[in-house]
Amino acid sequence: MTDDIITYEDLKVYEFVLGKVPSILLGAMIRRNQNIVPKFKSTILSRLSSLNETQKKQLDTVLNSEVPELQKIFGDAYQKSGKKQYKQLSEPKAAKFLETNLMELKKLVEKNSV
């Protein structure tokens, strides 16, 4: 992370999470604009308390980023990794899905202040 900008290098350490979501399933969630934050609420809350300062700063940067900016990073991540899930998240049709879930995640984080 450089000057409050998330890069592929920052995402790389969390790539294992993408592996848990098959691309076909992610595509369906994107098409339905599914809010997935409530489904993972307990996991998110338990992880929030264990974040170090660098991770808290990264989370804050992501939560305060514009969706097109994040999608550009996902596109870059796809070019470097070949992971289809990054490609799906970088596509215009994923913008609403990302916006919905970022907004819900931001509310959850603010309510349970990191």
Share of the chain above pLDDT 70, in %: 96
Q: With 60 as the cut, is the pLDDT of residue 2 above it?
A: no
Cβ atoms 26, 90 nearer than 8 A: no
pLDDT, one tens digit per residue, over 67-103 is: 999 999 999 999 999 999 999 999 999 999 999 999 9
**CA dihedral sign of residues 105, 11, 68, 85:** negative
Higher-scoring residue by pLDDT: 110, 3:
110
Q: What's the mean pLDDT when you consider all of the chain?
A: 92
Distances (CA, A) of 74 to 13, 26, 77, 109: 14, 14, 5, 22
pTM of the model: 0.88
